[in-house]
Amino acid sequence: MSADPARPAPAPLAPGQLIARGVCRHLRDLGFACVEELVPTGGLRVDVMALGPRGEVWIVECKSSRADYTSDRKWQGYLDWCDRFFWAVGAEFPTDLLPAETGLILADGYGAEIVREAPEVRLAGARRKVVTQKFARHAALRLQALRDPVLSP
């Protein structure tokens, strides 16, 4: 199979990105639309943000290893930007590390399963409006960059 030199093969996904892909596939089956690597505010970058059929906002942080988790000092900042917060990890992850009051998803590059539902703390209306607009613009700008050859990186 010959490669098209004008379209280089994408770089292989990192472990955390594979987890994110499986999470997004599963959440799509649940009726959620997902984006990755959204910046809700300076200094924070969400691995997966999902928007449900009734406007629910979920955030899923994907951790590929214990070190990846223990080095994350920002995750509590994400709680202010979603109705529910989940961790997503691989099957070998030591899940006892994770705070009990957060949701838990087991995932690999192909799919995922929600193991523990996250408690709901609903966003205030003004914040929901802001985060929905950020989600919308993030998704549309990346979609346009993929669809329009002049804008692609």
Is 105:60 a contact under the CB 8 Å cutoff? Answer: yes
Residue 133 engages its own copies in binding (rule: CB under 8 A): yes
Among 78, 87, 93, 135, the residue binding its own copies under the rule CB under 8 A is: 135
DSSP codes, 53-88: TTS-EEEEEEESSHHHHHT---HHHHGGG-SEEEEE
Q: Which is nearer to its own copies, 97 or 136 (CB)?
A: 136
Binding-residue total with its own copies (CB under 8 A) = 35
Residue 24 engages its own copies in binding (rule: CB under 8 A): yes
Pick from 53, 118, 136, 107: nearest CA to 82: 118
Positions that interact with its own copies (CB under 8 A):
1-7, 21, 24-25, 28, 33-35, 51, 53, 55, 129, 132-133, 135-144, 146-148, 150-151
